[in-house]
């Protein structure tokens, strides 16, 4: 079989699950890894024959896609903010809306680090809560090398993946394995950021099986009764562990924007800003003390 015929085969076999364009993108991601070809080379070499062994690999990826496995888990990598992260069943696949949160923090940090610093830029300290793949702290450190970045997760398996990503991408991060619901520290931070679990059980019905069956529930779900449990704990932590003029950033549940803002305002945070993502959904909050 040649590359073009394999692409058509993917489109046909994946038709019950994916639109033709999506199936084409999935084939392209699979073929890029298996055949080590850039997307443009793939396009130009549709007539090139694929060896038996590579065909077997591409069929095996197709089988996994047909049972709803996310392509990032099959290929064990995900792209985030121009970087490539290793992912597996122990970590959430980084999402595009989280890239928007990171973008916001980078721009705020650039402003903060230049304020009151006539001689040299201020060295900011950042704590990320709920590491997962490490996409937030690693990307922040990569783009803000003059910061000190720490990150925390209750899952030792997630921390192991994030450590591997930090090593691979070449950044120094302080990793902490701890439960944020009980975590205490003497350290103060300029920025505290979190994308904690925020999906209520009642929202499960709306979710695709490839998320429900393949992504870690520890990273996703909270109870219907107390959906802001992590936000409340992190806000309380931030009250004691943010430096003066420090900022708290959250990625939030699109349906709980008002509740999150009210919770912060009840805790006397100020300059609370609720921001929409590119899809027009309430997705991020920033607050100060
Ligand atoms: C929504 S995921 C976010 C992962 C990553 N920051 C991202 O944006 O892709 C939430 C993370 O919080 C972690 N987590 C869940 N409960 C926690 C707890 N009690 N203390 C600390 N981290 C927790 C999960 O293991 C998961 O990695």
pLDDT in tens, 82-94: 999 999 999 999 9
The predicted pLDDT at position 246 comes to 96
Pair 164, 171: CB distance under 8 Å? no
Which residues in 195-222 are b (16+ Cβ under 10 Å) and which e? bbbbbbeebeeeeeebeeebbbebbbbb
Quote the ligand 1 centre to 132 CA distance (angstroms): 6
Quote the ligand 1 centre to 199 CA distance (angstroms): 12
Give the Å distances, CA to CA, from 52 to 31, 55, 59: 14, 5, 10
Average confidence (pLDDT) over 221-238: 97
Say yes or no to pLDDT of 199 above 90: yes
Ligand 1 atom 5: the closest Cα is on which residue?
A: 132
With the most atoms of ligand 1 within 8 angstroms of its CB, the residue from 130, 160, 178, 220 to mutate is 130
With the most atoms of ligand 1 within 8 angstroms of its CB, the residue from 153, 179, 283, 284 to mutate is 153
Average confidence (pLDDT) over 24-40: 93
* Atom nearest to 80 CA in ligand 1: 9
Class of the 88-288 domain? alpha beta
CB 190 less than 6 A from any atom of ligand 1:
no
The predicted pLDDT at position 134 comes to 98
Give the Å distances, CA to CA, from 139 to 142, 170, 183, 205: 5, 11, 24, 32
Quote the ligand 1 centre to 38 CA distance (angstroms): 33
- Percent of the chain having pLDDT more than 70? 98
CA distance 85 to 75: 11
CB 72 less than 6 A from any atom of ligand 1:
no
CB 218 less than 6 A from any atom of ligand 1:
yes
114 pLDDT tier (thresholds 50, 70, 90): confident
Quote the ligand 1 centre to 185 CA distance (angstroms): 18
Provide CB contacts within 8 A for 243, sequence distance 6+.
125, 188, 189, 190
Ligand 1 atom 4: the closest Cα is on which residue?
A: 132
pLDDT in tens, 120-133: 667 899 999 999 99
The predicted pLDDT at position 211 comes to 86
Quote the ligand 1 centre to 206 CA distance (angstroms): 21
118 pLDDT tier (thresholds 50, 70, 90): low
Q: Where are the domains of the chain?
A: 3-67, 88-288
Quote the ligand 1 centre to 180 CA distance (angstroms): 9
Pair 264, 238: CB distance under 8 Å? no
* Atom nearest to 91 CA in ligand 1: 27
* In the chain, beta strands by DSSP E: 77-80, 83-86, 124-129, 147-153, 174-177, 189-194, 199-200, 221-222, 242-251, 270-276, 282-288
Query: Which is more confidently placed, 111 or 269?
Result: 269
CB 154 less than 6 A from any atom of ligand 1:
yes
């Amino acid at each position: 079989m040649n590359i073009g015929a394999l692409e058509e085969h993917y489109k046909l076999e994946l038709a019950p699950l994916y639109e033709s364009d999506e199936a084409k993108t999935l084939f392209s991601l699979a073929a890029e890894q298996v055949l080590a070809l850039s997307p443009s080379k793939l396009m130009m070499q549709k007539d090139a024959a694929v060896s038996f062994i590579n065909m077997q690999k591409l069929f095996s990826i197709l089988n996994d896609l047909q049972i709803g496995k996310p392509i990032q888990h099959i290929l064990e990598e995900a792209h985030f903010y121009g970087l490539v992260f290793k992912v597996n069943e122990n970590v959430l696949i980084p999402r595009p809306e989280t890239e928007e949160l990171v973008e916001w923090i980078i721009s705020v940090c650039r402003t903060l680090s230049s304020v009151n610093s006539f001689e040299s830029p201020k060295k900011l300290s950042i704590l990320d809560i709920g590491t997962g793949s490490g996409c937030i702290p690693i990307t922040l450190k990569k783009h803000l090398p003059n910061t000190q970045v720490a990150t925390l997760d209750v899952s030792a398996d997630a921390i192991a993946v994030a450590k591997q990503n930090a090593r691979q991408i070449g950044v120094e991060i302080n990793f902490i394995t701890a439960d944020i619901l009980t975590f205490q520290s003497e350290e103060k931070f300029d920025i505290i950021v979190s994308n904690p679990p925020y999906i209520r059980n009642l929202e499960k019905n709306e979710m695709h099986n490839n998320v429900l069956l393949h992504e870690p529930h520890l990273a996703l779900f909270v109870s219907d009764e107390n959906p802001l449990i992590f936000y409340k704990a992190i806000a309380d932590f931030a009250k004691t562990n943010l430096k003066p003029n420090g900022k708290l950033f959250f990625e939030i549940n699109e349906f709980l924007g008002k509740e999150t803002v009210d919770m912060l305002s009840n805790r006397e945070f100020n300059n609370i800003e609720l921001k929409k993502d590119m899809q027009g959904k309430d997705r991020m909050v920033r607050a100060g003390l």
